[in-house]
Amino acid sequence: MSRIAVIGGTGYAGSHIVREAVSRGHTVVSVARSVPSDRVDGATYLEGTLLDVPTLVAQLEGVDVVVSSVAARGDMLGQLRPAMAELVAALPADVRVGVIGGAGGSLAAPGGPRLIDTEGFADEYKPEAAEAIGILEDLQAGTGAHDWFYVHPAGGFGEWAPGERTGSYRDGGDVLVVGEDGQSFISGPDLAVAVVDEIEEPKHSRERFAVGY
């Protein structure tokens, strides 16, 4: 079993990852700006933030995997990318890093444009998507010893469409996963299944992958 830290572990994606990892017997630390009243039994909750990387790194001592599920919204917009770069540089080389990005950086079709560059991508989501893409680009350009993986959720992923846990999903590589109905969707619980599967049986060393149904 692994010792997993989830940064943003009280948010939508993070809380599902915490719950799934605990259910599989992993030791899980959830790090967020505040400790929630509704907690997953078996998880440890700590107050911490990516805006204070030195303190955060001290809190993460001894973990095997660090997963960031923090979105570039609110005061994190413009600060998340440099904070992630600082965190990766500060972590011990044997700690694997996972990032929950956005759908915007996945390709709309094999060899095709990124979703963010397609005509239908809403302008209001572009700043957040661009920052998430920047984090991916920093990981891809890095020459350090860290192993990492980066997840593109489906386009319809979010707390507004929670869905159920089915235990299944499709891996699209760098291409957005779209169902036969033309919709791109994955539930919060099944995104967590994909993330913990990757932690338990790595298939994407220093790679990104898209998930959906």
How much of the chain exceeds pLDDT 70, in percent?
Answer: 100
pLDDT of residue 59: 94
How much of the chain exceeds pLDDT 90, in percent?
Answer: 92
Place of tokens 């919060």: 188
The yes-or-no verdict on residue 18 having pLDDT over 80 is: yes
Place of tokens 């911490």: 48
Are 32 and 11 contacting, i.e. CB atoms less than 8 angstroms apart? yes
Structural domains of the chain, count: 1
Segment 119-137 mean pLDDT: 96
Give CA–CA dist 121/54, Å, rounded.
36
pLDDT band at 105 (very low <50, low <70, confident <90, very high): very high
The yes-or-no verdict on residue 192 having pLDDT over 90 is: yes
pLDDT of residue 201: 98
Residue-wise pLDDT tens digits, 81-96:
999 999 999 999 999 9
pLDDT of residue 161: 87
Q: Which of 50-54, 102-106, 160-164 has the lowest mean pLDDT?
A: 160-164
Domain that residue 63 falls in: 3-212
Residue-wise pLDDT tens digits, 24-70:
999 999 999 998 888 999 999 999 999 999 999 999 999 999 999 99
* b (16+ CB within 10 A) / e for 84-105: bbbbbeebeeebbbbbbbbbbb
Say which residue, 176 or 142, is predicted with more confidence.
176
How distant is the alpha carbon of residue 82 from its chain centre?
A: 16
Give CA–CA dist 20/3, Å, rounded.
13
Give CA–CA dist 189/165, Å, rounded.
5
Place of tokens 């033309």: 182
pLDDT of residue 36: 86
Specify the CATH number for the domain of residue 12: 3.40.50.720
